[in-house]
Amino acid sequence: MTYPLAVILGVVQGVAEFLPISSSGHLSLLQYYFGMESNDNLFNILLHFATLVAVCIAYRRDIIEMILEFFRAIRDIATGRGEGGRPPEARRLILLIIVGTLPLLLVLPVKGWVEAFGNNPVFVSCALLVTGCILFVSDRMGTGHKTARNAGLKDVLLVGVAQGLATIPGISRSGSTISAGMALGFDRKFAVRYSFLMSLPAVLGATLLEVVDVAGESGAVDPELVPMYVVGMVLAGVVGYFSIKLVNLLATKGKFGAFAYYCWIVGLLSLVGSLLGFTFVPAG
């Protein structure tokens, strides 16, 4: 790891985490082509955590309202003051996020196996080609009208399944979940909003699991790498914030399909390069 590489990975994470081009796939391929012996899973998770902070800032009003509604719900249960009719949108959104996150529990037993895919550039390249197909189809879907007020639990559970599949390096999480939402009739703006809010417990949980794993390994973190980690995280967070704004604009206008061609080009070039054993750093 070097400072220039930390800068590159931080910027790539900030862009690719929210644009539907798979941040995990790009990080894996960059680390391979720059000669890192294996993926630095801790750094990858820290970069994802930095973009999680960007989501918190961009959607701070939604998050604050959900926190307030959580405590209001506890108050209503404790006092027996259950409200008649439909619950507030923010309270229902909490339930939708919880249900949508459940499929990730099925990924936990095979977490190490899934992460190992990131060390195989051929597999990651093929996964990027699949992501391109997902995006190509998504732009041809009609505009739905479901929002937090009328989306069903089955709908968000299926979006959660898409998020679980997107733990595979090279499959875009945002592209898969937003596309799944639109396929199920979500309003385009709500599909983006729900996708990003649903990422909060997923990324936070992954961060905690990785930190626990590293803490249990003697000497797992090299102190010299910490400043590089910080540089990468800051860049990932700042770039990620502006990327969120761009994704909202593109999704509303139905412009995701353009990224399909990007994923196909990158996936194909990377596939050829990895099969030929090409890297930017000479062996030895």
Q: In a 3-state reduction of DSSP, which class is residue 146? A: strand
Sole residue written with tokens 């102190």: 223
Residue-wise pLDDT tens digits, 179-200: 999 999 999 889 989 999 998 8
pTM of the complete model? 0.84
Note the pLDDT of residue 114: 86
Note the pLDDT of residue 184: 92
Can you give the residue ranges of every domain in the chain? 3-275
Cα end-to-end span (Å), the chain: 16
d(CA 96, CA 3): 40
Written as six digits, the tokens of 258 are 């353009």
Written as six digits, the tokens of 204 are 């936070």
Residue-wise pLDDT tens digits, 41-86: 678 788 888 988 999 999 999 999 999 999 988 888 888 776 556 7
Q: What whole-number percentage of the chain has pLDDT above 70?
A: 92
Query: Which residues in the chain land under pLDDT 70?
Result: 36-41, 82-85, 214-221, 281-284
Average pLDDT, the chain: 86
Q: DSSP alpha helices (H): ranges in 59-169?
A: 60-79, 89-101, 111-116, 121-138, 153-165
